[in-house]
Amino acid sequence: MPFGVRPWILLLAAIGQVHAGPYTKTKQSSRLYTPPDPSASGGLLFRLPARSSPLAGVFALPQLDPSLCYQAEINGREGRFRGLPVGRYDLIIVYHDIFYENILLTRDPDTLTPSDHEMIRQTIEKAVPFFNVKTIHRLAGQTGRGGKAALVLQDLRTLPVTLQDASVRKDIQIRSLKLARLEQVNIGWQLVHTREIIRMEVGPDMPQGVLPYRHVPALGNIRVTDTVRDLGELQLPP
């Protein structure tokens, strides 16, 4: 999937598709995630703590190119990333009732002002009208003309969803977790890129509304070389 935002109705008609949504059987684009690099021998092994909530996925974003997103192979509580090129990676772990992350937002000191925060919030609120609830979980960047900012964003549609066959579903919500980047231009803060990490159908048997969030520093800046690194059991707050 290109580095950007697509409305849900376009995703329904996407070509090149993989797993279906559990409630609408909607196919999701196979281009959302970066395939393992067959020439790269690096990777990560890890073990997830025991939790009662189902796991939605574990993802790794390379710090040098966050437009890429790798999805872990999961077997029970064991997880693995294969074919990761050498570099440093940040992880995001998504359950049905909470998500954890430590994505690098900026390498420079955060100098955003309260005014910047408010203008960025207004810019995000106007983007992608399909989602009627938007939550900025973490934001950092540099103030002033030409400044750059990045944020961890959760988009949510709580309104009825119209499917490709014109049927309307009122019993589900659509949730999207994203990394978004903005730049300060003459007219204010402009949204320049988004990278969707996961899109979820939220059914009536799942926790509704905005997914709770925790920032976990240990999930960031993980070095990958040309061997497979074992992270052991990941320590996630309850």
The per-residue pLDDT for range 218-227, each reduced to its tens digit, is 999 999 999 9
Task: Answer yes or no: is 21 within a domain.
Answer: no
User: Which CATH number is 226's domain given?
Assistant: 2.60.40.10
Q: Are residues 167 and 133 both part of a single domain? A: yes
Provide the number of structural domains found in the chain.
2
**Residue ranges of the chain with pLDDT lower than 50?**
1-20
| 55 and 78 inside one domain | yes
Strands (E), the chain: 17-20, 27-29, 42-47, 55-62, 70-71, 73-75, 78-84, 87-95, 99-101, 133-141, 148-157, 161-162, 168-169, 173-185, 188-202, 213-215, 222-224, 228-233
- Characterise 83 by phi-psi region: left (phi > 0), alpha (psi -120 to 50), beta (else): left
Convert the pLDDT of each residue in 153-206 to its tens digit.
Answer: 999 999 998 887 888 999 999 999 999 999 999 889 999 999 999 999 999 999
Question: Which three-class secondary structure state does DSSP give residue 62?
Answer: strand
| pLDDT, position 12 | 34
In a domain, 22, yes or no: no
Q: Facing residues of 95 across strands?
A: 55
State the pLDDT at residue 28. 61
- pTM to 2 decimals? 0.87
What range defines the domain where residue 121 resides? 104-210
- The bridge status of strand 99-101 relative to strand 213-215 is parallel
Q: Are residues 50 and 142 in the same domain?
A: no
Whether residues 206 and 170 fall in one domain: yes
